[in-house]
Amino acid sequence: MVALPNPGVRVKATVNTHNETVEHTGLVLPPAAKGHLSLKLDNGYNVSYPTEAVQQWEELPTKAALSSAELHAPQADSDLPRVRLIHTGGTIASKVDYATGAVEAKFEPEEMLDAIPELAAIAQLDAVKIGNMFSDDIRPQHWNIIAAACADAFADGCRGVVVAHGTDTLHITSAALSFAFAGDGSRPAGPIVMVGSQRSSDRGSSDATENLLAAVHWAANGPLPTGDAGDSVSVVMHHGQSDGVMAVHSGLALRKMHSSRRDAFHAVNGQPLATLTLTHEGFRTETLPWYASALEQPSSRPLAQQPTTYETGQRIAQFIAGPWLHAEHIEAVVATGVQGVVLHGTGLGHLPIDDPQNDAPENALLWRILTRCVNRELPVVIVNQCIHGPVDMNVYSKGRKQQAMGLLGHGVSSTPETMVAKLHWVLSQNMDINGALASNLCGEHRETLRE
């Protein structure tokens, strides 16, 4: 049995398999299991073998990363539309750190353009780097930075913008940007397309290339947003597990539904805007009938010269309704000075606030603290933890009681994340909260999204 190389070393290893002796070349990863050699092969896939199967290995020179001067992105046709790639980080811009085996957001935008020369056939593309962040680290201040970068791109004459973003909170940022550009009755000058990937670009099963190609295509060739149809910001991700078909979603009406599948994003209370199928001739666009009809309607919205912004000091507390929700939890958090409370209600939007058998005093206490919040003019908004379906507090007496208490959210058909982003935006604009939350500002409550 030979001694194994350290992680991060590039090797050529000879190993015994059940059928034959084979050679593998790749970078050594931290072992997948104790007593194993794990390699990241040049094709992006990983292999692991027990130590006793390793016959020999030799260290090879490690491939150095290309410098900016060594990158060779092809020159795009000057007649193609201009599209700006705004780089924030995430898996689409990630690589494996072979010393630790962890995926890190550190892929530079120039490397992305160099790695996918097909982009030059779609648009004149330039890149701006905002950061190399995983999306769970993104905060409202970053929404403001991204929105400003989008506005700068349009002011520079770009036809569209692509925002490369991590997937975990992509649907939150897409909702936030939608209100920033269209919540006040305006619309962006061109498509703002958010894109991510579930698998890093150096994995053989990566969805990064197809997603990015499709996103740039939609930014360069997709319809100009109406602002009314939830299309001010769109999200392009895989439509299914297989290659070749991407979905274009409303940035206000989707959610990440799976932690690792390539088709993790699904429309909520409706359908995508369109699908993009990759063919030998390029992308074939199939616009969904509901969106095709929306595009035929004239829009009176003016173009947004500058996006509205989010007050980064706003604090919104969120709670999940159920057996573990207690008044003291809400009271303790409200005491920190939050500006809004969001409750993820059960079913049609219900909370445990009744004690019909006189054996659940916790429920009466919860009713009391929520009533106190409303009396203090602290907005309390109900969203739907079922994800699909509306909040309807007219059906049961419980819901009517909640409305009488002054709890907001009746009629909401948006995702919970969209409603929280909307509440934050409304608070930031000093708008009338009751009226704004009930209004359909930019397609977040559009009836066709509920079909």
Residues designated catalytic: 91, 167-168, 256
Residue 236: closest CA among 291, 274, 187, 183: 274
Angle (CA) 163-168-172 rounded to 5° is: 65
Using H for helix, E for strand and C for coil, what is the string for the chain? CCCCCCCCCEEEEEEECCCCEEEEEEEEECCCCCCEEEEEECCCCEEEEEHHHEEEEEEECCCCCCCHHHCCCCCCCCCCCEEEEEECCCHHHEEEECCCCEEEECCCHHHHHHHCHHHHHCCEEEEEECCCCCHHHCCHHHHHHHHHHHHHHHHCCCCEEEEECCCCCHHHHHHHHHHHHHCCCCECCCCEEEECCCCCCCCCCCCHHHHHHHHHHHHHHCCCCCCCCCCCEEEEEECCCCCCEEEEEECCCEEECCCCCCCCEEECCCCCCEEEEEECCEEEEEECHHHHHHHCCCCCCCECCCCCCCCCCCCEEEEECCCCCCHHHHHHHHCCCCCEEEEEEECCCECCCCCCCCCCHHHHHHHHHHHHHHHCCCCEEEEECCCCCCCCCCCCHHHHHHHHHCCECCCCCCCHHHHHHHHHHHHHCCCCHHHHHHCCCCCCCCHHHHC
| Residues contacting residue 333 through CB under 8 Å, at least 6 positions apart | 317, 319, 341
What span, in angstroms and rounded, lies between the C-alpha atoms of 242 and 263? 9
> For helices 170-182 and 140-155, what crossing angle results, to 10°?
60
What span, in angstroms and rounded, lies between the C-alpha atoms of 158 and 145? 18
Angle (CA) 22-27-32 rounded to 5° is: 80
